Each structure stands twice: as C-alpha cells, then as structure tokens.
Amino acid sequence: MKNTFTTPADFWQERDFGAKISAIFEFLGAHWRRLGKCLVYFVLPVTLLMGIGLGLMTNSMFNNMGRMLGAQHGASQGLGGPVEIAQQYNTSPWAMLNF
C-alpha cells in the first residue's frame, strides 16, 4: 500500500537519498490534483504577468537602444531595427546581444 502522506509521521521519517526522491514522487502522485489547482490559481497568473511585463520591458529597452544609436549617428528617426544596425556595422544582428 502506498504512503499517502496524510499524517505528520509520514513526513518525519528518516530516509536515505533514494527514498527521499521516491517520497517526493509518491507525494506528488497522491496529491497531484490539489497541487495542480494551487499552481493554476496562484502561480500561473503571476507567471503570466511577469512574462508580459518582461516582454514589455525588453521591447522598451531595445527601442530606446535603437533611438540612442540613431541619435549618436545623426539619424533623426533612428536606425530602424537590429538588422539595419547590424548592416551598418557589418555584423550579425545577434552581435549586439553580447553585453
């Protein structure tokens, strides 16, 4: 019979490393529905908001970088995207990502 991890004694057992890993998967197998529901309600919204925020911040950062490079080289409307900047310097568009 599987251990369902319902009493405190189930968590306080002395285990070797292999038994600890096995106990993790037994716990997940016994409580996957409740754990999944908590992850969907608490972790997923925060993760989505952080992803959207990081995307907006990255977009803003690269737009500002393009404007600054355009202003340094006398272009009034910027140099365009990373491909145009790379063509001016004869490098790869990915070269400007090496900070």
DSSP string, 28-84: HHHHHHHHHHHIIIIIHHHHHHHHHHHHHHHHHHHHHHHHHHHHHTT-SS---SHHH
Encode pLDDT of 3-15 as tens digits.
677 788 878 888 9
What share of the chain has pLDDT > 70, as a percent? 67
pLDDT tens sequence across 47-95: 999 999 999 999 988 888 878 777 776 554 555 666 666 666 665 556 5
Domain ranges of the chain: 8-97
Kindly indicate the confidence band of residue 1, based on its pLDDT and cuts at 50, 70 and 90: very low
- Long-range contacts, 20-28 (Cβ 8 Å, 24+): 26/2
The pLDDT assigned to 47 comes to 96
**How far from the centroid of its chain's Cα atoms is residue 93's Cα?**
23
List pLDDT tens digits, range 24-48. Answer: 898 888 889 999 999 999 999 999 9
